Amino acid sequence: MAYSFAAKLTGVSKRYSDVTAVENLDLEVKKGEILGLLGPNGSGKSTILKMLLGLVKPDSGAVNVLGVNLMDASLALKKRIGYVPEGSYVYEFLTGLEFLDFAGDVFQISLEEKKKRIEEFLKALDLEGRESDMISSYSEGMKQKILIISAMMHKPELLLLDEPLNSLDPKSARIVKNLLRKLASQNVATVMSTHVLEIAEAICDRIAIMYEGRLLALGTMEELRQRAKMPNSGLEDIFLELTGTGDVKPIVEELLR
């Protein structure tokens, strides 16, 4: 069945006890776009990604991913999605190669194709020669690379990335950013949560600014500049203006007392 978007949340809300993580959210992710999710800690970014993956069930509203209502989703849908969680959550008792081999089997990649893709990614991200080492011996950046490879090696149609460039060295970060743009040209959609505003400004087609569980603003950089009435401004100034957190001078002065 044809579908016009990669993912869509309609009237979605989610509460954890007395805390509202996401409130009445309407958000559509276009095919082939990189959508950046920005917001302070606790603004709902990770919850949105987990709802799109089906790890968290919304209290109300509907979530549609790749033309399928998540309430009706099967395991087959999950195989069309790639996910990098925040933090290096990998099985440290495995070697890097064992972890990637396991991920390839989960996504039912053929033996020949799996071997080829793993070798290509290991080379591109400077992990050649370390794939037989235990993951427990890896740096945080190396663990992050393994997670990124495991999320991309099965050629997903939708990527859900929670702070994906954390701990990466500049070269690897540039490779991942270029890869995301290449995948976008192949109609792969990416939803990326990040605190690094420069990254969002550089590679995201549109940016969604979350604040206290609500969607505060959504658009291209130019549209956000118009919304904030700040022509020629960068994303950092726009973000601080729209979230009402721009006056940081008193905080700095207090810290220096």
Can you spell out the DSSP letters for 220-232?
Answer: -HHHHHHHHT-TT
pLDDT at 16: 92
Does one domain contain both 40 and 66?
yes
Q: CA 217, 180, 192, 174 torsion: positive or negative?
A: negative
Residues 172 and 234 in one domain: yes
**165 and 222 co-located in one domain:** yes
What per-residue confidence (pLDDT) applies to 8?
96
Residues 69, 165, single domain; the answer is: yes
Where among 155, 173, 201 does a domain terminate? 155
231 falls within a domain:
yes
pLDDT score recorded for residue 240: 84
The one-digit pLDDT tens for each residue of the chain (257 residues) are 567 899 999 999 999 988 999 999 999 999 999 999 998 888 999 999 999 998 899 999 999 999 988 877 677 888 899 999 887 678 889 999 999 999 999 999 999 999 999 999 999 999 999 999 999 999 999 999 999 999 999 999 999 999 998 888 889 989 999 999 999 999 999 999 988 888 888 899 999 999 999 999 999 989 988 988 888 888 888 888 888 765 555 544 544 55
End-to-end CA distance of the chain: 62
Q: Name the domain count of the chain.
A: 2
- Specify whether 150 is located in the same domain as 180: no
| Residue 247, C-beta contacts closer than 8 angstroms, at least 6 positions apart | none
Q: Do residues 72 and 78 lie in contact, with contact meaning Cβ atoms separated by under 8 Å?
A: no
Question: Which of 46, 107, 117, 114 lies closest to 78, judged by CA?
Answer: 107
Question: Looking at the domain assignment, is residue 2 inside a domain?
Answer: no
pTM of the model: 0.91
The CATH number of whichever domain residue 62 belongs to comes to 3.40.50.300
Q: Which of 135, 155, 175 is the last residue of a domain?
A: 155
Does residue 212 sit in the same domain as residue 231?
A: yes
Query: For residue 139, what are the domain limits?
Result: 89-155
Rounded-to-integer distance, Cα 133 and Cα 214, Å:
43
